[in-house]
Amino acid sequence: MTASNPTTALIRQQFDFAAAHRLHVPELSAEENLAIFGHCNNPAGHGHNYRFEPCVAVSLNTGKPDFTLGKLEQLAHEVILSRFDHKHLNHDTEEFGPSGVIPSVENIAKVFFDLMAPAVRDASSGKAELHAMTVWETDRTSCTYPADNPTTNSQ
């Protein structure tokens, strides 16, 4: 991609889901977990109205598009929302369960990226790529994965 004649665009769409989680490291004491995670370590968990935004790199062309926002919406529902919406992430999902990772916002962003990337690639016959995944835990707290993409800052 060149600045004078770009051939790639980044498309984004935001989606909302509700989920509960608990931030807890079993190898640490109750006091250590509380000191690190505060109220997010509540044994019963707590909930958020999350938002996530996949960012997909697509080729610009004048013919049939390789990947559309409609396809992005379909994949978001099939791959992410059907699996994580209205779930307790620690109890109801393999990715964040006992053998998974802590459901922190950064781990959620990575897991979502890892799930969506092959789906985007397959749906576009390899012509579109998931560029980044941003997850908001609150209106003020978010994480974008991967962090090394210079154009992942979304508004």
Which entry of 40, 48, 53, 95 is annotated as an active-site residue? 40
Helix (H) or strand (E) run with residue 98 in it = none
Q: What is the Rg, in whole angstroms, of the alpha carbon atoms belonging to the chain?
A: 17
Which entry of 46, 77, 86, 91 is annotated as an active-site residue? 86
Which entry of 21, 95, 131, 137 is annotated as an active-site residue? 137
Tell me the CA end-to-end span of the chain in Å, nearest whole number. Answer: 22
Greatest Cα pair distance in the chain:
60
Q: Is 39 an active-site residue?
A: no
Distance of CA 27 to the CA centre of its chain: 26
Q: Is 143 an active-site residue?
A: no
Q: Is 40 an active-site residue?
A: yes
C-alpha span between 37 and 33 (Å, rounded): 6
Q: Could you list the active site residues? A: 40, 86, 137
